[in-house]
């Protein structure tokens, strides 16, 4: 397994190569619902991101802006935060800073668990 450290002005980021899907899922399980580093997996490459306070300020500001515009326009949205999206069949997974369902809000409203792979198969 090879490692690449990517430096950015504020965030701390490490990229690991040749990581198995099983290892990615194990890391997600061990992390649980904690607000630890964010993991992105793409066919064997695992990026681990430790967001900075600057990153989080921008994230929270943009999320608030989306919610305010939706409220002002009377648009129903479901803010699902930084939930993990993963597709074993595609060997890809990610944890966005924030995510909001707008167009398909009614499909996820009041659901405790959202499975993106099921939604893709049903709704193209």
pLDDT tens per residue, range 39-90: 999 999 999 988 888 888 988 999 999 999 999 999 999 888 888 889 999 9
Q: Which of 80, 79, 82, 78 is nearest to 31 (CA)?
A: 82
Predicted structure pTM score? 0.71
Interatomic CA distance for residues 63 and 38, integer angstroms: 17
Tokens of 26: 């194990």
Strand partners, 39: 48
Residue 105's contacts (CB-CB under 8 Å, 6 or more residues apart) are 76, 77, 78
Q: Which of 102, 93, 35 is nearest to 63 (CA)?
A: 102
Lowest mean pLDDT segment, chosen from 15-19, 81-85, 104-108, 120-124: 120-124
């Amino acid at each position: 397994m090879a490692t690449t450290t990517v430096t950015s002005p504020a965030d701390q980021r490490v990229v690991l190569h040749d990581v198995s899907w099983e290892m990615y899922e194990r890391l997600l399980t061990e992390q649980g619902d904690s607000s630890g580093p964010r993991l992105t997996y793409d066919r064997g490459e695992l990026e681990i991101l430790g967001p900075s306070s600057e990153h989080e300020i921008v994230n929270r500001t943009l999320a608030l802006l989306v919610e305010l515009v939706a409220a002002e326009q009377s648009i129903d949205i479901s803010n699902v935060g930084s939930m993990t999206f993963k597709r074993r069949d595609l060997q890809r997974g990610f944890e966005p800073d924030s995510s909001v369902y707008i167009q398909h809000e009614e499909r996820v409203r009041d659901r405790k668990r959202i499975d993106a792979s099921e939604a893709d198969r049903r709704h193209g």
